[in-house]
Amino acid sequence: MSTPPRSNRHGRTRRGGARRKFIILALVLLVAAVGLGAWIALQPQAGPAEGPGTGAGSGLASPGGTPAGNDGAIAKQEKEKEKEKAFIEQTLSGMSLDERISQMLMVDLEAVAQEAGGVQLEEAMQKLRPGGVVLFRGDIPDIRSVLTLNRRLQQTAAIPLWMSTDQEGGIVTRLPFASAMNGNMAIGATGRPGAAAETGEVLGQMLAKLEINLDFAPVADINSNPDNPVIGLRSYGSDPEQVADFVKSFIVGMHAAGLPAVAKHFPGHGDTATDSHIGLPKLDYELSRFESIEWVPFRAAIAEGVDAIMSAHIQVPQLEPATAVSKLDGKPITLPATLSPHLLTGVLREQLGFQGVIVTDALNMKAIADHFGSEEAAVMAVKAGADMLLMPPEPAAAVSAIHRAVDAGEIEAARIDDSVRRILRMKRKYGLLPDTASPPVPLEDAIQGAEAYFQSGSAEQTADRIAAEAATVWGTGVKTKLPLLRGDGRRVILIGDQRTVLERVQREIEGAASAAAGGSIQVEARTPAEVPSPRQWPSGAIAVWVTQDLHHDRSSAETVISWFQAAAEQDVAAAVLSVGTPYDIAELPDIPLGIAVYGTTSSNLRAGVKALFSAEPPAGKLPVALP
């Protein structure tokens, strides 16, 4: 804000003096305006965020519709796109048709070895030239072994490999020497999507330390069927919007660790009653159901910038009525989603607008392998719109079959090129291709760095904190029964069918009692057949039933229910520690105290034991609707 001219403060004016002062003032203002303009022009302009999954930064719109001040950033982006396109086209032009097809394969090392006969693995890999490898627990026995294996395999590749695995956390983990973290249902029970981001980032950091550059996670399925035999604890819950929030957050975390994210299993595996590893599931719903339930997390994942989406081997007859003849029994079956052009191309690619990489679930699973031959399934998956074929049982035969299909005009060569471009674009984005790759550190330095990371215990600390947030209490006497355990020397009898889990819970209880001011506790584990009846219960002893998915076993559920009814009559102190899906709550609604922990990882069990020692009920929220 300007002040009045000094002469005016005194109320005196002179005609000539006023004119001169006016001219001087005009010159001063002109100089100030020019200086301000120059200062603004020299300021750095904020450009759009360039991290995975982020949108462009905001700015004032110029007359041409471009955010003001962002011209330089936009020009830089366009130049980078041109550079990327030129590099990818140059790479593609130097590849034979077989090499392009092979780039679409993610192979299992065991399948490569079996198909190659007595040929050395490196030689077989060099001949096959796949786009990537899927590692399992047996391939990752320790840090030195997996890093050495990864370096050996990368040396066989003209185009660097995806070194991939399924490190979801919880019940699906591949690193025997690392924290299993928490499964998705435990994370969902925190009610805090940030827990998914923290988990995704830690999982990504783990894998990056081992030079594993692709993780098939997160699971985006909605567990709306309590009897689902294959998803369950792998899902964030049964509410589509909540699952979507957690899926998006996990993607953010994985990207923060510098790894791609892969949402699975499209079009949705959460309401199936068959495990596609051993059979062919079916979801007989109409379009509106999928749009309002199953596809909500996938839409969210696409909006968040997910890099790849994995298909499911499930039949969806109301969306894909086309059939094929099963090789198992010669009968017609509805095409599963993995082999469905309508679902992969018509819905996922065109309707939902996904422009990233479509990867099949493993083609050696019985849902595919029993009904379609290895070669036929590979060809059909490519026709359907898949870019990456996961674990074909006979990878070299799959390449030959796809090549023949191209020669016969069944598949256009341009269709193969489109998939390879998407794969190369994703590899370049994450630093696998030469023009974006960082030089590798010496192997021994990589091993030492990884060992230091895993020995730090930081992952386990994150897992323990999230597991404690997830623990969920129920029962008729919660306020009066906690703390159930005190480390006061009382006897505790653990009851359950799984001896190994009981022994692990026993160790956690003994450790917690010792940590509680040096307290002590007597713990023993028994099966339901070995445990005394409540009428013969040892005086002062506490019972902790460790249950897991009682809704799958009515007989076991009835045994627990009857025991607690008798225990109430005898005033026996007792509780349930539920270590499976939380549907045990529906089976045992009237027990005095129950703690659900959503898994059997070390962090899950510690969280449950901690809750039994605490006077404050845990604050976890039930992530699924109970039947």
Give the model confidence (pLDDT) of 438-467 as tens digits: 999 999 999 999 999 999 999 999 999 999
98 burial class (0-12, 13-18, 19+ CB within 10 angstroms)?
middle
Angle between the 602-613 and 499-515 helix axes, to the nearest 10 degrees? 50
Predicted local confidence at residue 59, as pLDDT: 34
594 burial class (0-12, 13-18, 19+ CB within 10 angstroms)?
buried
Same-domain check for residues 400 and 521: no
275 touches 230 (CB < 8 A):
yes
Is residue 22 over pLDDT 60? no
Average pLDDT (201-211) is 98
Quick one: pLDDT band at residue 18, thresholds 50, 70, 90? very low
CATH of the domain at 138: 3.20.20.300
More confident residue, 247 or 50: 247
307 touches 259 (CB < 8 A):
no
Domain contains 83:
no
Is residue 319 over pLDDT 60? yes
Q: How long, in residues, is the chain?
A: 627
Domain contains 483:
yes
Count of Cβ atoms closer than 10 Å to residue 333 Cβ: 18
Q: Which helix (H) or strand (E) holds 389?
A: strand 389-390
Same-domain check for residues 244 and 323: yes
Predicted local confidence at residue 26, as pLDDT: 41
Same-domain check for residues 477 and 424: no
Predicted local confidence at residue 419, as pLDDT: 98
Same-domain check for residues 260 and 308: yes
User: What Cα–Cα distance (Å) separates residue 591 from each residue in 560, 561, 587?
Assistant: 10, 8, 10
Average pLDDT (257-281) is 92
Among the candidates 436, 462, 480, a domain finishes at: 436
- CA neighbor of 259 nearest in space, from 131, 391, 432, 12: 432
Predicted local confidence at residue 519, as pLDDT: 75
CATH of the domain at 554: 3.40.50.1700
Among the candidates 411, 436, 461, a domain finishes at: 436
Is residue 236 over pLDDT 50? yes
pTM of the model: 0.88
Predicted local confidence at residue 273, as pLDDT: 83
What sections of 286-412 are H helices per DSSP?
287-289, 295-303, 341, 366-369, 374-384, 395-407
Is residue 608 over pLDDT 90? yes
Which residues does residue 336 pair with via DSSP β-bridges, in sequence order?
A: 315
Quick one: pLDDT band at residue 471, thresholds 50, 70, 90? very high
Q: Which residues are catalytic?
A: 277, 361
Q: Amino acid identity, residue 152?
A: R
Predicted local confidence at residue 192, as pLDDT: 98
Among the candidates 436, 458, 489, a domain finishes at: 436
Residues contacting residue 184 through CB under 8 Å, at least 6 positions apart: 168, 169, 170, 196, 218, 219, 233, 234, 235, 236, 246
User: Distance from CA of residue 507 to its chain's centroid?
Assistant: 30
Same-domain check for residues 360 and 218: yes
User: What Cα–Cα distance (Å) separates residue 47 from each residue in 40, 72, 76, 506?
Assistant: 16, 8, 10, 56
Is residue 66 over pLDDT 50? no
- CA neighbor of 302 nearest in space, from 346, 250, 248, 342: 248
Same-domain check for residues 360 and 490: no
Calculate ∠ Cα 132-134-138, nearest 5°: 140
Q: What is the pLDDT of residues 361-392, one digit of tens each?
A: 999 999 999 999 899 999 999 999 999 999 99
Is residue 53 over pLDDT 60? no
Q: Which helix (H) or strand (E) holds 427?
A: helix 413-429
Predicted local confidence at residue 423, as pLDDT: 98
Residues contacting residue 389 through CB under 8 Å, at least 6 positions apart: 104, 105, 106, 359, 360, 363, 378, 381, 382, 398
Residues contacting residue 316 through CB under 8 Å, at least 6 positions apart: 267, 282, 283, 284, 285, 290, 334, 337, 340, 343
Predicted local confidence at residue 517, as pLDDT: 59
Domain contains 288:
yes
- CA neighbor of 56 nearest in space, from 44, 73, 40: 73
Predicted local confidence at residue 69, as pLDDT: 58
Return d(Cα 128, Cα 122) in angstroms, integer.
10
Predicted local confidence at residue 52, as pLDDT: 38
Quick one: pLDDT band at residue 70, thresholds 50, 70, 90? confident
* Three-state SS letters, 110-173: HHHHHHHCCCCHHHHHHHHCCCEEECCHHHCCCHHHHHHHHHHHHCCCCCCCEEEECCCECCEC
**How many contiguous H segments (helices) and E segments (strands) does the chain have?**
24, 16
140 touches 147 (CB < 8 A):
no
Same-domain check for residues 313 and 251: yes
Residues contacting residue 88 through CB under 8 Å, at least 6 positions apart: 421, 424, 425, 428
* Average pLDDT taken over every residue of the chain: 89
Return d(Cα 450, Cα 457) in angstroms, integer.
12
User: What Cα–Cα distance (Å) separates residue 28 from each residue in 17, 152, 361, 538, 586?
Assistant: 17, 72, 72, 97, 80
Domain contains 344:
yes
Quick one: pLDDT band at residue 541, thresholds 50, 70, 90? very high
Same-domain check for residues 608 and 501: yes
Domain contains 623:
no
Domain contains 52:
no
- CA neighbor of 256 nearest in space, from 194, 195, 200, 188: 200
User: What Cα–Cα distance (Å) separates residue 580 from each residue in 181, 232, 425, 563?
Assistant: 15, 9, 40, 20
Same-domain check for residues 547 and 609: yes
Quick one: pLDDT band at residue 63, thresholds 50, 70, 90? very low
163 touches 432 (CB < 8 A):
no
Domain contains 348:
yes
Is residue 182 over pLDDT 50? yes
* The two three-digit tokens of residue 466, written as one number: 């999230």
SS3 309: strand
Same-domain check for residues 187 and 267: yes
Angle between the 395-407 and 374-384 helix axes, to the nearest 10 degrees? 60
Domain contains 53:
no
More confident residue, 483 or 17: 483
Same-domain check for residues 388 and 499: no
Predicted local confidence at residue 122, as pLDDT: 96
Predicted local confidence at residue 278, as pLDDT: 81
Return d(Cα 369, Cα 233) in angstroms, integer.
26
Same-domain check for residues 475 and 429: no
Q: Which helix (H) or strand (E) holds 521?
A: strand 520-526
Q: Which domain holds residue 158?
A: 100-436
Q: What is the pLDDT of residues 320-367, one digit of tens each?
A: 999 999 999 999 999 999 999 999 999 999 999 999 999 999 999 999
Q: How many domains does the chain have?
A: 2
Residues contacting residue 419 through CB under 8 Å, at least 6 positions apart: 104, 357, 382, 386, 387, 388
Quick one: pLDDT band at residue 434, thresholds 50, 70, 90? very high
